[in-house]
Structure 1
Amino acid sequence: MASIHVESASELLEAQAHVWNYSFNYINCMSVKCAIQLGIPEIIHKHGQPITLSQIVSALGVNPNKAHGIHRLMRVLVHTGFFSQPKVSKIDHQEDKYFLTPSSRLLLKDAPFTAAPFVFLLLDPLVINPFQSLSAWFKNDDSTLFETTNGKKIWDCVANEPKFKKTFYNGMVSDSQLVARALIEDHKEVFKGLKSLVDVGGGTGTMAETIAKAFPKIHCTVFDLPHVVDNLQGTKNLAFHGGDMFKAIPSVDAVLLKWILHDWGDEESLKILKRCREAIPSKEMGGKVIIIDLVMGMEDQSEGAIETQLCFDMTMMCLFNTGKERSVEEWKKLFLEAGFTHSKISPILGLRSLIELYP
């Protein structure tokens, strides 16, 4: 008879702490959302120097009976790295002061590359409420967890619910602004030799517009569903074209797929990649596909990065069912099946990678 391991009291308490820590994790993200909504990063930024708690409370104009809560909120946000609080001498009875960190500077609503809209997208009730039904979804016949809770697919909500549509596109725009800057400032060689580029699923055109301005000799086209691009105006080297990426993609030197393939399963992604291959010339003629997406299992990733990627994968399952984040091996298998001969994966975009794919 196999022996049964019985944890000691100390082991059980350690396990309890682990359970509690993850059960309370939602408070961390909601605290960040609250700080953005209250405008705390803006208050500290406009102050121009380290700011005391009483000054923050005064600027916020919160209910006096709840002012004590701001201290507790800030304590969580300092612990999670969104604000810093230098140690002060208690002998001098100085009040604690707060600084912005790189993370909270990224939450400034008017910052050029603000991440605040993406926070609001990830924490929108339409996105987070479905996870309350995760166990039920595993047993029902609904195609997506999102549909189980909201009664419709996410793209229907984007198309027909103005408030969520605005939240969705604001989030996508804010992310594209930062990624485009990183590419143009630090990795502009990816665009070397190109005369034309199409941004498939490019939405309102943030990525393509930035590329077009930085490289006037590249003619850029935003290719998305007709209802997304019909009323958008182009420029001298930027155009908008409506269509279906599963049927055909305009012929160009390079196709850009930013955060597109993780929305789809292998069967759908294979169709998209085959249309991409049909749209570009040979490698010798400069043809390639530029993919910006997560690549799981890359070497030297931190535990935090791995955890975030795993959470993104769960989010794709929630929103799209067949959508998923892929490992290096899964990406390469997909590329081979689509008829591509060579790929280069560079983990240079934070949690995501730049993939250059050649026919």
Structure 2
Amino acid sequence: MCIYCSINSCIIVITNKWAKKMDPNTISNENSKELLDALTHIWNHTFSFLNSMALKCAIQLEIPDAIQKHGKPITLKELANSLSIHPNKTHSLYQLMRLLVHSNFFIIKKSTPNQEETYDLTLNSQLLLKNHPFNQSPFAILEMDPIITESAHHLDEWFKNENDEDESPFHMIQGKKIYEHISSELKFNDLFNEAMSCDSRIISKVLVNSSEFKGLVEGVESLVDVGGGDGTMGKAIAEAYPEMQCIVFDLPHVVNGLQGNGRNLTYVGGRMFDAIPHAQVILIKWAFHNWSDENVIKALKRCKEALPNKGGKLIIIEMVMGIPSDNVNYSNAQLLIDMQMLSASRGKERTEQQWKSLFLDAGFRDYNILPILGPRSIIQVFPA
């Protein structure tokens, strides 16, 4: 029997097995538990969007800031008063906080004289504080903006399209690509830039204090941060390595009006698909996952042209799908963001083999991967 026949036989056996289980007249106790577990699994995924909405509500109500301002763990009544919430809605606030505690954004303590429950911050909610140096609220609000989430409601419609004219679900719904929308809507453009900056703030600090990154840039005289936005990453590197000449390279409308430090940081406008300023190291953070393989290869070739053959390297900060990790949150984040890329720009997170194919097609000779940034990795790529 061929392998395909064997597989089909197995599928038939499994299907018949479950068909019997679904017969209401033959459901055993074991079958009942399995069915209820499956039902609960469906519920958890059906209602999981409310985790996002609860987080969005907490940010917009400024609950983390209210707890910080209180100066100590806060009771539910104190929290309601500080948020100017009507007393009749205090129990509703309790429902919200109960979910946010379950999601590990807050923690319950017994810290009053009568052992009343109080709420305190966790590290997760500290990263939502307005005055926190690594505040991630802009990123969260951007990704939960209705104009972003609406696209995901039309994934089935996009998949059913017989033609490929609509680049992404976002393009199909909005009539333009996401980057066209960003550049045309001032308020959304500001939110996008702020979101990218807050991500760069935390990653840049992790990098400049990382022994692995120090090893990557030791002795480097020049570096170009491609797609560097307002220069958050470039500034951090320039300050950490004052002998290194750093260029922040992005679209003209992004860098227009931005000033360097007059020493080792400058801004240059342009498109990475046309040409990239020459440097010993080119850094690209979280940009390629927005683009098709064809566009990534085009940009990689521009990178190769801008690098010296000897001593030059490309440093990419991106996800590498499938790298083993003991942290299940990393793989969950990768899978979810991969779907977000599909919905917003028809981009994708790539496996090591997919990255390797792109590098070889663009003319690079070798690479290595350092999985040291949580769900993301540092990929070093070397020209031929």
Give the TM-score category using the shorter length.
Answer: over 0.9
In the alignment, which of 265, 270, 276 is matched to residue 297 of structure 2? 270
CA contact under 8 A between 2:67 and 2:74: conserved in structure 1? Answer: yes
In the alignment, which of 146, 152, 164 is matched to residue 176 of structure 2? 152
Residue of structure 2 in register with 1:342 after alignment: 366
CA contact under 8 A between 1:84 and 1:98: conserved in structure 2? Answer: yes
The amino acid of 1:144's aligned partner reads: S
Residue of structure 2 in register with 1:202 after alignment: 228
The amino acid of 2:87's aligned partner reads: P
In the alignment, which of 112, 118, 131 is matched to residue 97 of structure 1? 118
State whether structure 2 residue 337 is matched by structure 1 residue 316.
no
The amino acid of 1:160's aligned partner reads: S
**How far 1:188 moved relative to its partner?**
2.5
In the alignment, which of 188, 205, 219 is matched to residue 164 of structure 1? 188
Paired-residue identity, %: 47
CA contact under 8 A between 1:281 and 1:287: conserved in structure 2? Answer: yes
Question: 1:109-128 counterparts in 2 under 5 A?
Answer: 109-128=130-149
Deviates more, 1:167-176 or 1:263-272: 263-272
After superposition, the C-alpha distances for 1:307-339 in whole angstroms (9 at most, x for unaligned) are: 211111111111112x11001111122212222
Residue of structure 2 in register with 1:50 after alignment: 73
In the alignment, which of 231, 242, 251 is matched to residue 225 of structure 1? 251
> In 1, distance between residues paired with 2:191 and 2:326?
30
> In 1, distance between residues paired with 2:127 and 2:89?
27
CA contact under 8 A between 2:110 and 2:116: conserved in structure 1? Answer: no
In the alignment, which of 326, 329, 333 is matched to residue 353 of structure 2? 329
CA contact under 8 A between 2:317 and 2:376: conserved in structure 1? Answer: yes
> In 1, distance between residues paired with 2:326 and 2:292?
25
In the alignment, which of 219, 240, 265 is matched to residue 267 of structure 2? 240
> In 2, distance between residues paired with 1:258 and 1:249?
15
> In 2, distance between residues paired with 1:296 and 1:152?
29
CA contact under 8 A between 2:330 and 2:375: conserved in structure 1? Answer: yes
Residue of structure 1 in register with 2:43 after alignment: 20
In the alignment, which of 65, 70, 75 is matched to residue 93 of structure 2? 70
CA contact under 8 A between 2:76 and 2:90: conserved in structure 1? Answer: no
Residue of structure 2 in register with 1:132 after alignment: 153
CA contact under 8 A between 1:53 and 1:95: conserved in structure 2? Answer: no
**How far 1:110 moved relative to its partner?**
1.5
Quote the RMSD (CA, aligned, Å): 1.7
CA contact under 8 A between 2:277 and 2:306: conserved in structure 1? Answer: yes
> In 1, distance between residues paired with 2:251 and 2:284?
15
- Bigger Cα Rg: 2
Unpaired stretches in structure 2, ≥5 consecutive residues:
1-11, 22-30
Deviates more, 1:149-158 or 1:98-107: 149-158
**How far 1:93 moved relative to its partner?**
5.2
CA contact under 8 A between 1:198 and 1:252: conserved in structure 2? Answer: yes
> In 1, distance between residues paired with 2:308 and 2:203?
26
Residue of structure 2 in register with 1:358 after alignment: 382
Residue of structure 2 in register with 1:33 after alignment: 56
User: For this pair of structures, how many residues does the alignment match?
Assistant: 354
**How far 1:87 moved relative to its partner?**
5.7
State whether structure 2 residue 203 is matched by structure 1 residue 173.
no
Unpaired stretches in structure 1, ≥5 consecutive residues:
none
> In 2, distance between residues paired with 1:18 and 1:109?
35
Deviates more, 1:118-127 or 1:62-71: 62-71
> In 1, distance between residues paired with 2:285 and 2:250?
12
Residue of structure 2 in register with 1:288 after alignment: 313
CA contact under 8 A between 1:291 and 1:354: conserved in structure 2? Answer: yes
Residue of structure 1 in register with 2:102 after alignment: 79
* 1:167 partner SS: helix
Q: TM-score, normalised by structure 2?
A: 0.88
After superposition, the C-alpha distances for 1:197-235 in whole angstroms (9 at most, x for unaligned) are: 111111111111111111111111111111221221122
Q: TM-score, normalised by structure 1?
A: 0.94
